[in-house]
Amino acid sequence: MIIFRDVSRVYRMGEEMVRALDHASIHIRQGEFVSIIGPSGSGKSTLMNIMGCLDVADEGQYLLDGQPVEHYSEKELAHIRNRKIGFVFQNFNLIGNMSAEENVELPLIYQGIGVKERRERTKEALEKVKIYERRKHRPGELSGGQQQRVAIARAMASGPSLFLADEPTGGCKIVV
Protein backbone atom coordinates (compact mmCIF):
# COMPACT_ATOMS: atom_id res chain seq x y z
CA MET A 1 0.00 0.00 0.00
CA ILE A 2 1.25 3.43 -0.98
CA ILE A 3 0.30 6.71 0.62
CA PHE A 4 1.76 10.06 -0.41
CA ARG A 5 0.80 12.96 1.84
CA ASP A 6 1.62 16.39 0.46
CA VAL A 7 4.85 15.20 -1.12
CA SER A 8 7.03 17.89 -2.69
CA ARG A 9 10.31 17.60 -4.54
CA VAL A 10 12.34 20.66 -5.41
CA TYR A 11 15.40 20.40 -7.63
CA ARG A 12 18.00 23.04 -7.00
CA MET A 13 20.12 24.00 -9.99
CA GLY A 14 22.40 26.80 -8.86
CA GLU A 15 20.13 29.78 -8.29
CA GLU A 16 17.16 28.17 -9.90
CA MET A 17 14.58 26.05 -8.09
CA VAL A 18 12.35 23.65 -9.96
CA ARG A 19 9.33 22.43 -8.01
CA ALA A 20 8.79 19.11 -9.78
CA LEU A 21 6.19 17.91 -7.26
CA ASP A 22 4.05 20.33 -5.33
CA HIS A 23 2.10 18.77 -2.47
CA ALA A 24 1.17 15.56 -4.27
CA SER A 25 -1.16 13.22 -2.41
CA ILE A 26 -2.10 9.73 -3.58
CA HIS A 27 -3.41 6.53 -2.05
CA ILE A 28 -2.85 3.22 -3.85
CA ARG A 29 -4.26 0.03 -2.37
CA GLN A 30 -3.04 -3.53 -2.75
CA GLY A 31 -4.03 -4.96 -6.14
CA GLU A 32 -4.78 -1.61 -7.75
CA PHE A 33 -3.67 -0.73 -11.27
CA VAL A 34 -2.96 2.97 -11.60
CA SER A 35 -1.92 5.07 -14.57
CA ILE A 36 -0.45 8.52 -14.14
CA ILE A 37 -0.78 10.77 -17.14
CA GLY A 38 0.45 14.28 -17.78
CA PRO A 39 2.54 16.33 -20.19
CA SER A 40 6.31 15.94 -20.28
CA GLY A 41 7.94 17.81 -17.41
CA SER A 42 4.88 17.50 -15.17
CA GLY A 43 6.72 15.39 -12.57
CA LYS A 44 5.71 11.80 -13.45
CA SER A 45 9.25 10.39 -13.32
CA THR A 46 10.00 12.35 -10.16
CA LEU A 47 6.94 10.84 -8.49
CA MET A 48 7.79 7.33 -9.64
CA ASN A 49 11.40 7.60 -8.50
CA ILE A 50 10.21 8.53 -5.02
CA MET A 51 7.63 5.73 -5.09
CA GLY A 52 10.36 3.28 -6.12
CA CYS A 53 12.62 4.45 -3.26
CA LEU A 54 15.23 5.70 -5.73
CA ASP A 55 14.81 9.28 -4.56
CA VAL A 56 13.38 10.94 -1.47
CA ALA A 57 10.84 13.72 -1.01
CA ASP A 58 11.91 17.15 0.28
CA GLU A 59 8.60 17.69 2.03
CA GLY A 60 5.63 15.55 2.98
CA GLN A 61 5.36 11.91 3.83
CA TYR A 62 5.59 8.64 1.93
CA LEU A 63 4.13 5.61 3.67
CA LEU A 64 5.00 2.26 2.13
CA ASP A 65 3.04 -0.65 3.60
CA GLY A 66 2.01 1.49 6.53
CA GLN A 67 5.45 2.77 7.46
CA PRO A 68 7.08 6.10 6.59
CA VAL A 69 10.01 5.28 4.28
CA GLU A 70 12.44 7.17 6.51
CA HIS A 71 11.79 4.57 9.21
CA TYR A 72 13.27 1.83 7.07
CA SER A 73 16.99 1.16 7.48
CA GLU A 74 19.34 1.35 4.47
CA LYS A 75 19.46 -2.44 4.46
CA GLU A 76 15.67 -2.71 4.48
CA LEU A 77 15.40 -0.17 1.67
CA ALA A 78 17.94 -2.09 -0.42
CA HIS A 79 15.85 -5.21 0.12
CA ILE A 80 12.66 -3.37 -0.85
CA ARG A 81 14.29 -2.06 -4.04
CA ASN A 82 15.67 -5.47 -4.98
CA ARG A 83 12.76 -7.73 -4.13
CA LYS A 84 9.62 -5.80 -3.59
CA ILE A 85 9.74 -3.25 -6.38
CA GLY A 86 10.08 -3.96 -10.07
CA PHE A 87 11.12 -0.77 -11.85
CA VAL A 88 11.05 -0.29 -15.61
CA PHE A 89 13.00 2.86 -16.41
CA GLN A 90 12.02 5.31 -19.11
CA ASN A 91 15.36 4.64 -20.85
CA PHE A 92 15.29 0.94 -19.83
CA ASN A 93 18.78 1.02 -18.19
CA LEU A 94 19.87 -2.24 -19.80
CA ILE A 95 23.55 -3.18 -19.75
CA GLY A 96 24.86 -2.75 -23.28
CA ASN A 97 27.45 -5.51 -23.39
CA MET A 98 25.17 -8.17 -21.94
CA SER A 99 22.57 -10.23 -23.79
CA ALA A 100 18.86 -9.87 -23.06
CA GLU A 101 19.02 -13.07 -21.06
CA GLU A 102 22.02 -11.93 -19.01
CA ASN A 103 20.33 -8.61 -18.28
CA VAL A 104 17.30 -10.40 -16.85
CA GLU A 105 19.42 -12.86 -14.87
CA LEU A 106 21.80 -10.34 -13.28
CA PRO A 107 19.57 -9.07 -10.43
CA LEU A 108 18.75 -12.68 -9.56
CA ILE A 109 22.48 -13.38 -9.14
CA TYR A 110 22.72 -10.42 -6.76
CA GLN A 111 19.78 -11.84 -4.84
CA GLY A 112 21.69 -15.07 -4.30
CA ILE A 113 19.23 -17.23 -6.23
CA GLY A 114 20.66 -20.57 -7.38
CA VAL A 115 21.51 -21.17 -11.02
CA LYS A 116 18.65 -23.57 -11.78
CA GLU A 117 15.93 -21.32 -10.44
CA ARG A 118 17.59 -18.28 -12.03
CA ARG A 119 17.48 -19.86 -15.48
CA GLU A 120 13.87 -20.95 -15.04
CA ARG A 121 12.71 -17.53 -13.89
CA THR A 122 14.64 -15.79 -16.67
CA LYS A 123 13.11 -18.05 -19.32
CA GLU A 124 9.63 -17.62 -17.90
CA ALA A 125 9.91 -13.82 -17.79
CA LEU A 126 11.33 -13.59 -21.32
CA GLU A 127 8.60 -15.87 -22.65
CA LYS A 128 5.91 -13.87 -20.92
CA VAL A 129 6.83 -10.72 -22.81
CA LYS A 130 7.44 -12.68 -26.03
CA ILE A 131 11.13 -11.88 -26.40
CA TYR A 132 12.62 -15.30 -25.60
CA GLU A 133 13.68 -15.88 -29.22
CA ARG A 134 15.84 -12.77 -29.01
CA ARG A 135 17.47 -13.74 -25.69
CA LYS A 136 21.01 -13.91 -27.11
CA HIS A 137 20.86 -10.39 -28.55
CA ARG A 138 22.38 -7.37 -26.90
CA PRO A 139 20.22 -4.26 -26.30
CA GLY A 140 21.84 -2.47 -29.27
CA GLU A 141 20.59 -5.21 -31.57
CA LEU A 142 16.99 -4.83 -30.39
CA SER A 143 14.30 -2.28 -31.21
CA GLY A 144 13.11 0.20 -28.57
CA GLY A 145 9.99 -1.84 -27.90
CA GLN A 146 12.01 -5.06 -27.65
CA GLN A 147 14.46 -3.43 -25.21
CA GLN A 148 11.53 -2.28 -23.14
CA ARG A 149 10.20 -5.83 -23.02
CA VAL A 150 13.58 -7.07 -21.77
CA ALA A 151 13.44 -4.39 -19.06
CA ILE A 152 9.91 -5.54 -18.15
CA ALA A 153 11.11 -9.17 -17.99
CA ARG A 154 14.00 -8.13 -15.74
CA ALA A 155 11.62 -6.30 -13.39
CA MET A 156 9.17 -9.22 -13.32
CA ALA A 157 11.75 -11.97 -12.74
CA SER A 158 12.17 -11.00 -9.08
CA GLY A 159 8.42 -11.39 -8.45
CA PRO A 160 7.87 -7.87 -7.12
CA SER A 161 4.72 -6.89 -5.25
CA LEU A 162 4.94 -3.36 -6.65
CA PHE A 163 5.54 -2.93 -10.36
CA LEU A 164 6.44 0.57 -11.57
CA ALA A 165 6.86 1.39 -15.24
CA ASP A 166 7.86 4.83 -16.49
CA GLU A 167 6.28 5.62 -19.88
CA PRO A 168 5.25 1.98 -20.41
CA THR A 169 3.37 2.70 -23.63
CA GLY A 170 6.23 4.62 -25.20
CA GLY A 171 8.02 1.68 -26.75
CA CYS A 172 5.57 -1.17 -27.01
CA LYS A 173 1.94 -1.97 -26.64
CA ILE A 174 1.62 -5.36 -25.05
CA VAL A 175 -0.29 -6.68 -22.10
CA VAL A 176 1.70 -8.69 -19.58
Ligand X SMILES: Nc1ncnc2c1ncn2[C@@H]1O[C@H](COP(=O)(O)OP(=O)(O)O)[C@@H](O)[C@H]1O
Burial 110-149 (b: 16+ CB within 10 A, else e): eeebeeeebeebbbebbebbebbebbebbbeebeeebbbb
Q: Does 45 bind Mg ion (CB under 5 A)?
A: yes
Among the listed ranges 37-45, 114-122, 137-145, 168-176, the one in contact with ligand X (CB under 6 A) is 37-45
Q: Does 49 bind Mg ion (CB under 5 A)?
A: no
Determine contact, residues 88/166, Cβ cutoff 8 Å: yes
15 has which bridge partners?
none
* Among 6, 22, 23, 41, contact with ligand X (rule: CB under 6 A): 41
Q: Does 158 bind ligand X (CB under 6 A)?
A: no
Determine contact, residues 72/24, Cβ cutoff 8 Å: no
Q: Does 158 bind Mg ion (CB under 5 A)?
A: no
Among the listed ranges 11-19, 113-121, 124-132, 157-165, the one in contact with ligand X (CB under 6 A) is 11-19
Q: In this complex, which beta carbon is closest to Mg ion, that of residue 49 or of residue 122?
A: 49
